[in-house]
Structure 1
Amino acid sequence: MTDKDLTTHCGIYCGDCPRYKARFSDMCADLLQEFETSHFSELAKIIATKNDKFEKYDDMLSLLKTINALKCEAPCRLGGGRGPSCEVIVCNKNRGIEGCWDCNDFEKCGKLDFLKPFCADAPIKNLRAVKKYGMENWAEHREKQYPWM
């Protein structure tokens, strides 16, 4: 996979994204499979009569399934991420541009606001880097995508 493949339209680098790496997702899938194979739900029902935390067993399974579903099977540029209905991808296609860095309005574009809770201003800084260094060379200059990483 090249840096170009891992560069999203909006300034995220898929190689840094936990949804793309998705080790947690694979672990959830393995745990769900183990619960199923071992028929743990039957044991959980019995344990729940003595330990009320097990009354939330089904909620835990639901959460594991939800986490598992977060996994991106491919980088955004190759059909993963938010997919072809993503507002940013649609906008880029309508404008005939490769990514937001080719648009003069990306610095103040509201279509990127959905990223702020997760990435703060990293996508904007990354878009500046793509514009400056090009898609093949920007990644070494990228911002830390998630503030907590």
Structure 2
Amino acid sequence: MNYNDILKHLAPCGLDCNRCAGFEGGEIKELSTRLLELLGNYDRLAKIMSTKTPAFSNFTEFKEILDSFSKGSCGGCRADNCSCPVNCAVRTCFKEKGIDFCFQCQDYPCNKQENPMLRQRWLEKNDRMREIGVTSYYEEQRKLPRY
């Protein structure tokens, strides 16, 4: 995959938007949509299955979650239609700085990423990108679970 295509998937912080549950073109959206199609009218059978496997009594809730995943509409952190629930300074800062990723900034690492949990991940991801390059980092990340 070339650098410009990678920019469509990787956020400036290093998270892979393409693997996010809310991403409009992501695999989670595609697979959830497909699973809903394949399940069709499974509700009737789920009720029968619940007599032997109690977890099936929660099928309606499971289907609601799948439905929510299938409606992913976020364009990612670089897009105008970003709907990420995390309020992150990186989303605007990278534009102001004219860079693609935080590690490319002369001020990196800065103090804009204040949340301790997010900051640690942000540092790890950007340090790794700087170490092996954006393309290799993306290929490495694609093999890992997003969450």
TM-score, normalization by structure 2 = 0.58
Report how far residue 87 of structure 1 moved: 2.7
SS of match in other structure, 1:89: helix
Aligned residue in 1 for 2:141: 145
Aligned residue in 2 for 1:35: 39
Aligned residue in 1 for 2:56: 54
In 2, the alpha carbon distance for the partners of 1:91 and 1:122 equals 17
Report how far residue 50 of structure 1 moved: 4.7
The 4+ residue runs of structure 1 with deviation greater than 6 A are none
Report how far residue 114 of structure 1 moved: 2.3
Report how far residue 55 of structure 1 moved: 0.9
Report how far residue 35 of structure 1 moved: 2.8
Aligned residues: 133
SS of match in other structure, 2:109: helix
RMSD: 4.0
In 1, the alpha carbon distance for the partners of 2:33 and 2:81 equals 19
1:108/1:52 CA distance change after superposition, 3 Å: same
- Tell me if 1:11 matches 2:14: yes
In 2, the alpha carbon distance for the partners of 1:81 and 1:98 equals 18
- Tell me if 1:22 matches 2:26: yes
More helix by share: 1
**Of 89, 92, 95, the match for 2:94:** 92
SS of match in other structure, 1:33: helix
Larger radius of gyration: 1
Report how far residue 3 of structure 1 moved: 0.9
1:27/1:140 CA distance change after superposition, 3 Å: closer
Quote the sequence identity (%): 20
In 1, the alpha carbon distance for the partners of 2:120 and 2:81 equals 20
